[in-house]
Amino acid sequence: MGLIDFLKSIEPDKKKSPLLHTAYDAFFTFAYAPDTVTKGGTHIKDGMDLKRLMVTVVIAMQLCYLFGTYNIGHQHFVAAGEYLGFIEGFHLKLAHGLIKLLPIYIVSMAVGLGIEFYFAAKKGHAVEEGYLVTGALIPLIMPPDLPLWILTLSIVFAVIIGKEAFGGTGMNIWNIALLSRVFVFFAYPLTIASDQCWISGYEKISGGASADYGWFHTGFFNTLFEWMGLNTFNTATTVVDGFSGATPLALAYEGGWEKVTSVFSEGQMIWGAIPGSIGETNKVFIVIGALILILTRVASWRIMAGMLVGLIGTTWILNALGSTPFMTVTWTQHLMMGSFLFAMAFMATDPVTASSTDKGKWVYGILIGFIGIIIRVMNPAYPEGWMLAILLLNTFAPTIDYFVIESNIKKRFSRA
């Protein structure tokens, strides 16, 4: 008996155990292509089903995960003035990053998939695969020290109110990962909108504050590193005097590009050795992920190009006005800061919530670029705008497609 035959032999009864059958079906179709065959109409035989499409997106963001894990630890030690080089304390940085990132990832997947399994069993259908990507995206757009109970509330809100209330995967109006983040942004703003939230592992971000190490730091990893003859976590680690944890965007709002480059080099911003959301800092790895999505035709290059056009055009206008230091920042400098590239590659291109017509994708992308940069530069409370811009354009995406289709119909009638 082969493995697939064995798995089929233990399939739970759908009527007697709907929840068990839902869980079984989810894992079976994740490992194997669906064994159902289209019986009517013309169809295309292809191994790229929805699960494999989602897996492609997850693969595209793995470099962001790897560097994000490292950068959590790097920023922790930068705050203490220790291990400032890339290689220095590399093992400690990875260990601290794993300690902070893994709980966020586990909670994201467990809570979201738990809700998905419940609704799938209740409705009597297979688990919808959309949360595979959403659950992987949420940790990348959150700060590393976000309390897990707040993360749980945000996911419950996003999945139930933003997705299941509209009918599940493919029916939601707004990007679910961004709904989770916007919940935290408005309900618990200090946990996600302050300079200090991007630096993890301290009681508070102020001179002399002690590192907040737990058993995994001083017990598990210190024992392992001592056995390997490596440096260990020091419980006497403290934040250096004068450290603020400010991001490049916060610095740009205060004093433009000159203020930014007085703290961070362009190389640091491009390669991601700066404070920020877990997955947004390394611009090179984000671009690689975007290219994977474009080459596999999973994401629309039109939306990405439209966002870039909107960013460049709006930045030129702001540069011409130049009434504040932030308005003088050029479009290439904007690309090095904040989450524009991550939003462009992984958020705006969500096929469910974005425009679906070719012309509509251009309009959708350009408007996100325009609105996002306006919010970033003009908002005195929080110098970033892509989350709000994308959610706003998610709302109007069907309207954009409607007018594009109506325009095409009118053109056809005029030629008739």
pLDDT at 25: 64
pLDDT at 260: 94
What the block records as the tokens of 275 is: 């404070």
Cβ-Cβ contacts under 8 Å for 354 (sequence gap 6 or more): 300, 303, 348, 361, 364, 394, 397
What the block records as the tokens of 1 is: 């008996």
pLDDT at 291: 97
pLDDT at 170: 78
Segments in 80-195 forming alpha helices (H): 90-123, 131-140, 148-156, 162, 176-187
pLDDT at 129: 72
Cβ-Cβ contacts under 8 Å for 311 (sequence gap 6 or more): 331, 334, 335, 340, 369, 370, 372, 373
pTM score, two decimals? 0.89
Distance between CA atoms of 81 and 276, rounded to whole angstroms?
A: 18
Q: Closest by alpha carbon to 348, among 399, 307, 406, 384?
A: 307
pLDDT at 246: 86
pLDDT at 16: 61
| Per-residue pLDDT in tens (0 to 9) along the chain, 416 residues | 566 666 566 666 666 666 566 666 666 665 666 666 666 655 555 555 666 778 899 999 999 999 999 999 999 999 999 999 989 999 999 999 999 999 999 999 999 999 988 887 777 776 667 788 999 999 999 999 999 999 999 999 999 999 888 877 778 899 999 999 999 999 999 898 877 888 898 887 776 778 889 999 999 999 999 999 999 999 888 888 878 788 899 899 889 999 999 999 999 999 999 999 999 999 999 999 999 999 999 999 999 999 999 999 999 999 999 889 999 999 999 999 999 999 999 999 999 999 999 999 999 999 999 999 999 998 867 768 899 999 999 999 999 999 999 988 888 888 76
Query: DSSP string covering 63-109, please?
Result: HHHHHHHHHHHHHHHHHTT---SSSTTHHHHHHHHHHHHHHHHHHHH
Distance between CA atoms of 61 and 79, rounded to whole angstroms?
A: 27
Per the CB < 8 A criterion, the answer to whether 154 and 192 are in contact is: no
pLDDT at 416: 66
